Structure 1
Amino acid sequence: MRKVFSFPETVNEVSARLVAGGVVALSLAIVLGGQHWLIAVLAYGFVARVLTGPTLSPLGQLVTRVVTPRLPLREKIVAGPPKRFAQGIGATLSVSAAVAYFGFDATAVAVVLVAMIAVAASLESFAGYCLGCTMFRYLMRVGVIPEETCEACNDLSLRRDPVPA
């Protein structure tokens, strides 16, 4: 049970960017397509990824087991804790959107929150820039997050090169 509810210490950046692409597609279906019921799916995915990495996330499973292995891209390993922090921000925003929409019928609030997710996920997916990871590094630098939380994070700036084809 402990293995199920654990987040990996390292993450394949290729898979993370592909998952972010799926989040962008889902977010756009909500924001532009009016498919507000998908907010529940979006929230579940983020919560599942925070708690278990890709293990209980349908999108995470699809990407790590089916999509990534079929792509001609080299694996790019990065530290897991910043990615988990970023997923936590997504979980907070998406659960807040779900509460706003399903609990208070506040569609506009929910759509704005999901649009924020779409922007951050687009940065990750298309530009390889993890906004939550940047926030994590800043919080480590100012001492809010202890350095021992992520020993590998000291090398993250060295791993920002683009994923080769």
Structure 2
Amino acid sequence: MKIGDYPDVVNENVTRMVAATVVVLGLVSIFFPNPYSLGILFYGFAARLSFGPKFEPFAFLTSRYLVPKLGISFVPTAGPPKRFAQLIGLCFASSSIILWIIGKLTAYKIVLGILVFFASLESFLGWCAGCFFFAILMKLGVIPDDICEKCNNLNYNK
């Protein structure tokens, strides 16, 4: 297993369920600031960014047990845009930790509120802001086409 071993194709339904855990953890962190929920939030993004669902407990349990047990269908979606979204989430989680440590609680809550807002869009509406901006960056040539050949055929403007 190497760092960067993120799947080329992921299940959209799993990503939406995992986004719901981000919403819950984010809300817990906003209303009850503590290092534990922040650490879990940070670890989740770092693990998903590095390896996909393999080492992140919520993604692993959702993809291996919850989705099959509930009979939820596999809806394929390209992995690289979702990985880009994990990078953005990791930046927000890292920023919130730094703001919490230095005592900037209002800024901390704003950063987490933004994260919760966008995770809610993914979870409840199926719209991934990171994927949307990934597609724009591909169209602008910032992200080369060979990074995500599968993405070229998918529409992220849901």
CA RMSD of aligned residues (A): 1.6
TM-superposition CA deviations, 1:38-91 (whole Å, max 9, x none): 112111110111001111111111211221111232110010000000010000
**Local SS of the residue matching 1:6:** coil
Report if aligned partners of 2:4, 2:49 keep a CA contact under 8 Å in 1. no
Change (3 A) 1:158 1:86: closer
1: CA distance between counterparts of 2:34 and 2:76? Answer: 34
| Structure 1 consecutive aligned stretches of length 4 or more whose deviation exceeds 3 Å | none
Structure 1 spans left out of the alignment, 5+ residues: 161-165
Change (3 A) 1:148 1:63: same
Give me the identity figure in percent.
38
Counterpart of 1:131 in structure 2 is 129
**Local SS of the residue matching 1:129:** coil
TM-superposition CA deviations, 1:131-158 (whole Å, max 9, x none): 0000000000011111111000111118
Report if aligned partners of 2:99, 2:108 keep a CA contact under 8 Å in 1. yes
User: What TM-score comes out, normalization by structure 2 length?
Assistant: 0.93
Q: Give the 5 Å matches for 1:106-121.
A: 106-121=104-119
Report if aligned partners of 1:49, 1:56 keep a CA contact under 8 Å in 2. yes
Partner amino acid, structure 2, of 1:45: G
Partner amino acid, structure 1, of 2:106: A
Structure 2 spans left out of the alignment, 5+ residues: none
User: What TM-score comes out, normalization by structure 1 length?
Assistant: 0.89
Report if aligned partners of 1:30, 1:39 keep a CA contact under 8 Å in 2. yes
Deviation at 1:5, TM superposition (A): 4.6
Q: Which of 145, 154, 157 is the aligned partner of 1:156?
A: 154
Partner amino acid, structure 2, of 1:94: A
